[in-house]
A and B are shown apart, each in its own frame.
Chain A
Amino acid sequence: MKEFVMIYWSEPLGEIKLTPEGNMEVSKEWENWMGGIAAQNKLVSPGMRLGNEGRTVKPGNVVTNGPYAEIKEIVGGLSIFRAESIEEATEWAKSCPILNVGGNVEIRDIIQMNG
């Protein structure tokens, strides 16, 4: 078993208008998706959602306002999973709700650093 991070990239979700019902639907989707993986005992940490504000510090101590954006997308959050392989994790990512709002999932393996 190895550990992987999933990073959820999308346009800042605040920009996308969601109806009150739409909002609840998004929650339910995430709950069902993550709950399904958690039920397999493969969720290490739900991680966190990130806000839309931010600061980016570049070399030379240049500070810009806002998150680090890849064209228009920013990191919306990340979670940690436990899987046999990156292929297994990738299969789960295919049903990640961020894809429904035009976002992307980046899957990275975690390098264990033990002193």
Chain B
Amino acid sequence: MQEKELIPHLYRTEFRKIAAVLCRSLGIEHISIAEDIVGDTFLLAAETWGLKGIPQNPAAWLYTVAKNKAKDLLKRNAVFSQKVSPELKNSASEFHETDIDLSVQNIRDSQLQMMFAICHPSLPAEAQIGLSLRILCGFSIDEIADAFLTNKETINKRLYRAKERLKQVKAKIELPPDAEIDKRIENVLTTVYLLFNEGYYSSSTNTVLRKDLCLEAMRLNHMLTENKITDKPAVNALLALMCFHSSRFEARVDSNGELILYEDQDISLWNKGLIKQGEHFLNRAAQGDVLSRYHLEAAIAYWHTAERDSPQKWEKVLSLYNRLLIVEYSPIAALNRTYALAKVYGNEAAIAEAEKLGLDQSHLYHSLLGELYTEIDKRKAIEHFTAASKLTKTSADKNVIRKKIEKLKH
């Protein structure tokens, strides 16, 4: 690898590993210090590797330097609290001289434990995602700002507040106890899914970044499947869902950044490897008798991806959307259910159901009705598409709708 690319590459792969171990060693109160140590380590690498050349084992070099910096810090603070300021000895936090263990096992354990500390129910969702990107994924502040379509100051503030809050609630960097683990895993999955959707549905034009967000979400989810305690059916179901969705990443957006609808996608661009992985995790998710909403969503994605031409597809998809809505309502599910209903029982029946949904302020509702009226009543179809175009905010959507209206007028 080119020297210029090496450090950014290592930043992405190693920052999070070292940060996790250091956070665990130093404690939740000192996340910022842990970040600084890793940051300084990479700065030193950038300075010295240019002059002295790239070390034989660059990752090991980073680990050694970070370890030493951390140990120095601990020693200095031990000295401080013993000799200089004994009255502070009984304050909230005390540094202990611990060995910074950067073995593969401890790296893995630390990252998992940090995941639970960061995806803490007392933090707002945005804060969880921001902190996850920073500590668990090693994103720079710039990259995080880019992902959220905001600026550095906002992100810095958000991360600062998040860390303060974690200190306040004394969040523990460990796997939650048995009594809480299922609820906490639910929290983590919610955050991971939100992170994935940031990448998948983002209106940012930075395709590389968006793909990164999806991949990071999947990587974090995968970590949960590798530990017996956290390897639950719902965890596998969410990973399956993300595999199916991301298999279509290449086919969703054309070279102009315009959205390509599902029916119009070039199937040869769908990633077969990811579809197979999706099936693999869907099978793993089929253990036990607990059916989470992720199971239902993953099954729907399966029928849209692996079995897209199957004759019983739409009956199955309708059934799954019914069950999903019964478990948890969402406007998107309601609209998608209505579309599936159209495929099974015809457009007229679906139109009748659609009009009961109470979603007439939604551009998606009008797009759906536009579709459903297309073969039946062109005037109504155009009416609804026009309404959709007025209600939608993104230009990508407006383009898609405009094309549909034009098609109807001919």
Contact = CB atoms under 8 A, between A and B. Distances in A.
A39 B319 contact: no
B323 A39 contact: no
Given A28-B319, A32-B322, A35-B321, A41 B329 contact: yes
B320 to A, nearest CB: 9
Given A28-B319, A43-B326, A35 B357 contact: no
Interface string B294-319: 00000000000000000000000011
B365 to A, nearest CB: 12
Contacts of A32: 318, 322
**In terms of DSSP, what is the predominant structure of the interface of chain A?**
helix
A36 B319 contact: no
Contacts of B319: 28, 31
Given A28-B319, A39-B334, A41-B334, A34 B356 contact: no
B337 A35 contact: yes
A43 B322 contact: no
A43 B356 CA distance: 14
A31 B323 contact: yes
Contact of B326 (A28, A34, A40): A34
B143 interface: no
A59 to B, nearest CB: 38
A35 B358 contact: no
A49 B322 CA distance: 17
B395 to A, nearest CB: 30
Contacts of B333: 39
B319 to A, nearest CB: 6
Contacts of B329: 38-39, 41, 43
Given A41-B329, A41-B334, A43-B329, A35 B322 contact: yes
A35 B319 CA distance: 9
B322 A40 contact: no
Contacts, number: 43
A36 B338 CA distance: 9
A46 interface: yes
B209 interface: no
A46 B132 CA distance: 36
Contacts of B325: 35, 38-39, 43
Interface string A45-62: 010000000000000000
Nearest to B345: A32
B182 interface: no
Contacts of B356: 36, 39-40
A20 to B, nearest CB: 16
Contacts of A35: 318, 321-323, 325-326, 337
A31 to B, nearest CB: 4
Interface string B322-352: 1101100100011001100000000000000
B353 interface: yes
B358 A46 contact: no
A34 B319 CA distance: 11
The interface centre, meaning the residue of A28, A34, A41, A43 with most chain B CB atoms within 10 A of its CB, is A41
A55 B333 CA distance: 40
Given A39-B337, A39-B338, A41-B329, A34 B357 contact: no
Contacts of B358: 40-41
A32 B319 CA distance: 7
Nearest to B337: A39
Nearest to B356: A40
Contact of A34 (B318, B322, B353): B322
A95 B329 CA distance: 21
Nearest to A34: B326
Nearest to B333: A39
A40 B329 CA distance: 8
Interface string B152-188: 0000000000000000000000000000000000000
Given A36-B356, A39-B333, A39-B334, 9 more contacts: A28-B319, A31-B326, A34-B322, A34-B326, A35-B318, A35-B326, A38-B322, A38-B326, A41-B334
Interface of A: 28, 31-32, 34-36, 38-41, 43, 46
List 3 A-B pairs, minimum CB-CB distance, nearest first.
A35-B322, A38-B325, A39-B334
29 contacts: A28-B319, A31-B319, A31-B322, A31-B323, A32-B322, A34-B326, A35-B321, A35-B322, A35-B325, A36-B356, A38-B322, A38-B325, A38-B326, A38-B329, A39-B325, A39-B333, A39-B334, A39-B337, A39-B338, A39-B353, A39-B357, A40-B334, A40-B356, A40-B357, A41-B329, A41-B334, A41-B358, A43-B326, A43-B329
